[in-house]
Copies of this chain bind each other. A is one copy, B any other.
Amino acid sequence: MITERKPKNIFTQGPIAASFIADSIQKHDTKTNIGGHSIFLGQVRADVIEGSKVVAIEYTAYEEMALEKMHQIREAIFAKYPLVCMHVHHSLGKIAAGEICLFVFTSSEHRKAAIDACTETVERIKAELPIWGKEIFEDESYQWKENK
């Protein structure tokens, strides 16, 4: 039997609030087969580029394609690691320096699966999801962010 996970929306307008992360953690207290959670948070840095400071990144995405791709990544990660659950949230719109723009949350019975799955999911999100970021400087000029 093929079990189908429905593609979930990972996009949220604006930054990811610490209180949202707390709620997400709290909801797992009834899943008493979980022994370890791994969380990655991406935060917007106030990089200084040629003398100008980044004050925000404005994220855009090819949303329909990104959600299809994220669904494939999710299926592949669940096939590879014995996870209890996985949650992914990525911001769209203008995210100020110091705010959270990416939240990846994996949980498993033993820690190794959650840790490895989280790391691999973060790498795949950065490499494979059609998302772009415009680094906005103090004087409102901008440049397009490049992932390393």
Interface hub of A19, A29, A100 (most chain B Cβ within 10 A): A29
A34 to B47, CA, bound (A): 10
Find residues 8-52 in chain A having any chain B CB closer than 8 Å to their own CB.
18-19, 21-23, 25-26, 28-46
Contact residues on A (Cβ < 8 Å of other chain), bracket: 35 or more
Q: How many copies of this chain?
A: 2
Interface status of A129 (Cβ within 8 A of chain B): no
A interface, by DSSP: helix, strand, loop or mixed? Answer: mixed
Q: CB distance A109 to B45 under 8 Å?
A: yes
A residues near B (Cβ < 8 Å) are 18-19, 21-23, 25-26, 28-46, 97-100, 107, 109-111, 115, 119, 122, 148
